[in-house]
Amino acid sequence: MTTLPIRYRRNVVSAYVTTAVIAVAALVTTPILARGLGKEGFGIWVLVGSFALYLELLEFGFGKAAPKFVAEYAARGDERGLRATIATSFWILAALGSVAAVVGAVVAALFPSVFGISPGLSGAAQVLILLVLLELAISIPSDTFGGVLMGLQRFYLVNTTLVTVTILQAVAWTIVLAAGGGLVELGIATVALGLGGQLARFLLARRYVPRASISPRLVDRALARRFTGLSVWFFVLDMSRVVMVRLDTVVVGLVVGVPAAGIYAVGQRLTLALEQLVEPLTKSFFPHSSSLAAGDDEAGLRRSLLAGTRLSLAIAAPVALALGFLAGPLLDLWLGASSGFGEAATVVVLLAAAVTIGALTRTGLLMLQGIGQVRVPAMIVAGEALLNLVLSVVLAREMGIEGVALGTLIAVLVANVGVLYPYMCRRFAVSTGELSLALARAHAPALVVASLVGGALAALAPSGPVVVAAAPAIGLAYVAVFWFTGLTGDERAGLRGLVRRDRGH
Q: In whole numbers, what is the pLDDT of the chain averaged over residues?
A: 86
Instruction: Let me know if residue 284 belongs to a domain.
Output: no
Query: Is 215 contained in some domain?
Result: yes
Whole-number pLDDT of residue 164 = 95
pLDDT the model gives residue 339: 64
- CB of 187 closer than 8 Å to CB of 131: yes
Is 44 within the bounds of a domain? yes
User: Is the residue at 410 inside a domain?
Assistant: no
Write out pLDDT tens, residues 32-62: 887 888 877 887 887 777 777 777 777 787 8
162-205 pLDDT, tens per residue? 999 999 999 999 999 999 988 899 999 999 999 999 999 999 99
**What pLDDT does 1 receive?**
43
Contact assessment for residue 126 and residue 188, using Cβ atoms and an 8 Å cutoff: no
Query: pLDDT of 313-364, one tens digit each?
Result: 988 999 999 988 988 888 888 777 666 777 888 889 999 999 999 999 999 9
Dihedral (CA of 91, 97, 103, 105) sign: negative
Q: Is residue 34 a part of any domain in this protein?
A: yes
**Residues 208 and 153 sit within 8 Å (Cβ to Cβ):** no
Count structural domains, the chain.
Answer: 1
Q: Is the pTM of this model over 0.85?
A: no
Does a structural domain hold residue 378? no
Nearest by Cα to 348 from 267, 291, 427: 267
CA distance 462 to 139: 47
What does the pLDDT look like over 366-387, one tens digit per residue?
A: 999 989 888 999 999 999 999 9
- Report which of residues 404 and 254 the model is more confident about: 404
Q: Domain range for residue 174?
A: 1-219
**259-298 confidence digits (pLDDT tens):** 787 788 878 888 888 888 888 888 889 898 998 898 888 9
For residue 505, pLDDT beyond 70? no
Do the domain assignments include residue 31?
yes
Report the C-alpha gap between 46 and 44 in whole angstroms: 5
Helix (H, G, I), strand (E, B) or coil at 213: coil
pLDDT (0 to 100) of residue 338: 66
- Among 1-5, 207-211, 240-244, 493-497, name the one with the lowest average pLDDT: 493-497
Residue 303: inside a domain: no
Does residue 224 register a pLDDT over 90? no
Q: Is the pLDDT of residue 148 over 80?
A: yes
Predicted local distance difference test score (pLDDT) of residue 496: 62
Return the exposure string of 290-323: e unless at least 16 CB atoms fall within 10 Å of the residue's CB, then b.
bbbbbeeeeebbbbbbbbbbbbbbbbbbbbbbbb
Helix axes 285-294, 345-370, angle to 10 degrees: 20
